[in-house]
Copies of this chain bind each other. A is one copy, B any other.
Amino acid sequence: MYQGHPHSAQSNERLHAFEQACRKAGLKITHQRVEIFRELAFAQDHPSAETIHRRLKKKLPTISVDTVYRTLTTLEKHGLISKVQTVESQARFEVKDDHHHHLICDNCHEIIDFDWQVFDEYPLPNEISDWGKIKNKKVILHGLCRKCSQKVSS
């Protein structure tokens, strides 16, 4: 359910898989790309391009925002990451993973992932097949996270 710790073996695997995928796609493995992907893979909060840029400046002081945008667009085009559906003005991203759902706090805009296997296996209503071909189904829950509901009520 949750993503690995920055220094775990699982993390290195993830970066290794990323480099493999880049090679396969004919993308050069640049310092910037690796760091952007790493940032996204280890963040649990589905950050925007601006957020990723801000965080990376500590490590790569000269990285530019447009590189972050360009890289995210490229990686999305190659199916390595995806945009998250939100009602916010800035686009937010996550490492591609079709099988999870989102829990969104309407106050602080935190987005966290959750699994729901029973739902995943549940058949869709019949009428849907008339519409076309479904590739992905996802549940999005909105509400107030624990922290925000305490703030609001206090």
Contact = CB atoms under 8 A, between A and B. Distances in A.
A91 to B, nearest CB: 7
Contacts of A82: 87
Contacts of A10: none
B86 A103 contact: no
B128 A141 contact: yes
Given A85-B86, A116-B125, A141 B145 contact: no
A85 B132 contact: no
A31 interface: no
B148 A132 contact: yes
Interface of A: 82-87, 89, 91, 103, 105-106, 112, 114-116, 118-119, 122, 124-125, 127-128, 130-149
